[in-house]
Amino acid sequence: MRTDFVRALERAANLEELSRDELAVLISADEEESAALFDCADMMRSRFMGDEVHLRGIIEFSNICSSNCYYCGLRKGNTALKRYRMSKAEILESARKAAVLGCRTIVLQSGEDRSYPAGLLAEIVAEIKSELDVAITLSVGERPREDYALWREAGADRYLLKHETCDGKLFSELRPGTVLEERLQRLAWLRELGYQVGSGNMVGLPGQTVETLAGDIVLMREMEVEMAGIGPFVPNRQTPLGSCPGGTLELTLKTLAAARLALPRTHLPATTATATIDALGRVKALRCGANVIMPNMTPLKYRASYSIYPGKTGLEDTPEESYAKAVRMVESAGRKVGTGYGHSLRHLEKK
């Protein structure tokens, strides 16, 4: 093992703050180093987050999108996609089903469906919160600050808005017409409004290096995010990046493990994209620092149309099956299903 690798890992185990260079050294681990990195991340996860894995049921309620991100199949330029919006009744029904199955968090996600009425989403949030004993995460992209405020007042607990990449140039290339600073400004608003904030990034984007990935982690540490979704870039043929190579499982797991060392108290999901590139991806991620799984609670008839990337796992699974599979993954990793809301640790300390 490289001396600088061993030193960085030791410093991480002693809870010292790693520099971007040190994180890059960890992320560039070879096979032998990877094993040590994964063990250290697993130990850190056990120490700070315990053995519980939180299951957050995700409802993908609209695939309508006004953005044209180069990596995403929901981009408005993808005319091959059949667009849908679930009705309020359908969303409430899916949320009830998720809660009955055992989810203590409901994630409501959509494309950049900017004409989706903010008031309607506020009503949905309020009704779910009054009827069900769950936390709510919203992930509906870039909206005016007033909308975020309205939804927070309606009872939304958390907001997920991935920064996607910390490389500002790459960000604007991949997300035409948008800049990283504005995305970060939105994350700051969400924080001010009292949301538990989630960010995250893709691994293996064209033009990205291990230094970029180390920068993603440093950025999330600076923002003190409560959740960090780290998953591989999966090329989609219906997008301009269709013929680019995707992110590998190895690089994704190394980035995840390094994130666990730098963000010991942050919720880290074993992402669906990781499951897409490797059948055992999520179980492996649970052993490299992850402590959250997001079973899909979207009705089957809409599943295939929420095609951010191809080959998405679980397209044929009913919500019941998605939940049961998640439970099996938790058990096969030797862990237990979380019984609480899985709020951020800082949020719990404040109470």
Provide the binding-site residues for ligand MET, judged by CB under 6 A: 74, 109, 111-112, 139-141, 161, 308
Closer CB to ligand MET, 28 or 313, in the complex: 313
φ, ψ (nearest 5 deg) of residue 328? -60, -40
**Half-sphere exposure (CA, 13 Å, Cβ side) for 298?**
27
**Nearest-5° Cα angle at 214, 211 to 216:** 110
Give SS3 for 45: helix
Q: Which is nearer to ligand MET, 298 or 322 (CB)?
A: 298
Give 28 or 298: the residue with its C-beta nearer to ligand MET: 298
Residue 293 neighbours by CB under 8 Å, 6+ apart: 53, 54, 55, 56, 269, 270, 282, 286, 326, 329, 330
Smallest distance, ligand MET to C-beta of residue 328, A? 26
Cβ-based nearer residue to ligand MET, 29 or 65: 65
Supply the minimum distance, in Å, between the C-beta of residue 8 and ligand MET.
32
Closest approach, Cβ 329 to ligand MET, in A, equals 23
Nearer to ligand MET by C-beta: 54 or 312? 312
**DSSP element (H, E) containing 105:** strand 105-110
- Least Cβ distance, residue 190 to ligand MET (angstroms): 11
Spell out the alpha helix ranges (H) of 269-318.
Answer: 272-277, 281-286, 300-303
Asked whether the beta carbons of 256 and 41 are under 8 A apart, the reply is yes
What's the token pair of residue 173?
A: 């290339």
Residues with Cβ within 8 Å of residue 305, at least 6 apart in sequence: 63, 81, 82, 83, 84
Q: CB of 143: closest distance to ligand MET in angstroms?
A: 10
Contact, 237 vs 195, CB < 8 A? no
Choice between 141 and 246, CB closer to ligand MET: 141
Residue 122 or residue 333: which is nearer to ligand MET going by CB? 122
User: Which is it for strands 292-293 and 135-139: parallel, antiparallel or unpaired?
Assistant: unpaired
Residue nearest to ligand MET (CB): 141
CB of 271 to ligand MET, least distance (A): 12
* Closest CB 341 distance from ligand MET, rounded Å: 21
